[in-house]
């Protein structure tokens, strides 16, 4: 898959608990640096994949940790409690 654009939704938030920077490396790799400034509980998630102007995937969920595939992804990137609280931490890569 060739990545040409990556946008972070800044949508409405109750609190701004993260800082996220992303860089596209070599077209196919996405380097994401995340700093979780304080413990936070993700209440919503939206994932949109577009290829050649056509929408391929659209996921919108109110409880990301209840999602079959998203919870393991969150757990692999962050320290997540059983109640879906992402603990204060910094990730790179």
- Quick check: is 13 in a domain? no
The residue segments making up the domain with residue 62 are 18-92
Length of the chain: 93
pLDDT above 80 (res 38): yes
In a domain, 10, yes or no: no
The answer to whether residue 3 is domain-embedded is no
Q: Give the model's pLDDT for residue 93.
A: 52
- How many helices, marked H, and strands, marked E, lie in the chain? 1, 5
Q: What gap in Å lies between CA 68 and CA 47, rounded to an integer?
A: 14
- Which DSSP category does 79 fall into? -
Residue 11 lies in a domain: no
Residue 81 pLDDT level (bands cut at 50, 70, 90): very high
> Which pLDDT score is estimated for 60?
87
Q: What is the tally of structural domains in the chain?
A: 1
The answer to whether position 2 is within a domain reads no
Asked if residue 1 is part of any domain, the answer here is no
- Give the per-residue pLDDT at 37: 87
Q: Has residue 41 been placed in a domain?
A: yes
Q: Is residue 5 part of a domain?
A: no
pLDDT score recorded for residue 82:
92
């Amino acid at each position: 898959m060739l990545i040409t654009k990556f946008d972070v939704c800044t949508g409405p938030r109750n609190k701004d608990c993260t800082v996220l920077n992303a860089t596209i490396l070599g077209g196919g790799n996405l380097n994401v640096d995340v700093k979780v400034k304080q413990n936070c509980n993700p209440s919503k998630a939206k994932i949109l994949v577009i290829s050649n102007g056509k929408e391929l995937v659209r996921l919108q969920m109110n409880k990301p940790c209840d999602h079959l595939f998203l919870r393991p992804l969150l757990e692999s990137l962050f320290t997540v409690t059983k109640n879906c609280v992402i603990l204060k931490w910094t990730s790179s890569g």
